[in-house]
Amino acid sequence: FLFFVCYRALIFPLLIREGKPTPFFTFVLALLFCVFNGYLQGRSLTNYAIYPPGWLGDSRFIIGFLGWLIGMAINIHSDHILRNLRKPGETGYKIPRGGMFEYVSGANFFGEILEWFGFALACCTIESLAFALCTLFILGSRARQHHK
């Protein structure tokens, strides 16, 4: 969870070239969601989640961790493809090619959805499932808009 947050909050913004400005209200809503969700996930995992001995060897954890890892790799690779769609100064719409974009039009969204459902399976908490479902609904609607 922290690895993704560091990537998305620190590394990703430094890699982005010029783009459309983000409306302040959207920024504030995203910030509030991330702060609330980070607190909820951290509190849930450190204070309330109880795992049996050997949990890290349990198939739910292993499959969930692999789902998270594959989703993260798809997400990062898709971000790379999107960042490099246009040459400096170019404008206009371009269809991304390569990676998971060969299979789905919103590969970056697909990767992040897979990532958080893997996280939910690995953690097996209501809070992590709620986050995965929020991600599905929010990014799923964005993916649908991008596809159209």
The C-alpha atoms of residue 70 and residue 77 are separated, in whole angstroms, by: 11
Q: What pTM was computed for the model?
A: 0.85
What band does 10 get if pLDDT is binned at 50, 70 and 90?
confident
What band does 17 get if pLDDT is binned at 50, 70 and 90?
low
Q: CB count, 10 Å around CB of 16?
A: 10
What band does 52 get if pLDDT is binned at 50, 70 and 90?
very high
Closest CA to 2 of 32, 51, 45: 45
- CA gyration radius, the chain: 17
Q: What percent of the chain has pLDDT over 70?
A: 97
Instruction: Confirm if 70 and 110 have CB atoms less than 8 A apart.
Output: no
pLDDT of residue 136: 96
Q: What angle do CA 63, 68, 71 make, to 5 degrees?
A: 120
The C-alpha atoms of residue 137 and residue 143 are separated, in whole angstroms, by: 10
Q: For the chain, give me the number of helices (H) and strands (E)?
A: 6, 0
What band does 146 get if pLDDT is binned at 50, 70 and 90?
confident
Contacts (Cβ under 8 Å, ≥6 apart) of 106? 139, 142, 143, 146, 147
Which amino acid, one-letter code, is at 141? S
Per residue in 100-143, pLDDT (tens digit) is: 999 999 999 999 999 999 999 999 999 999 999 999 999 999 99
C-alpha dihedral sign at 98, 102, 107, 111: negative
32 vs 88, residue with greater confidence = 32
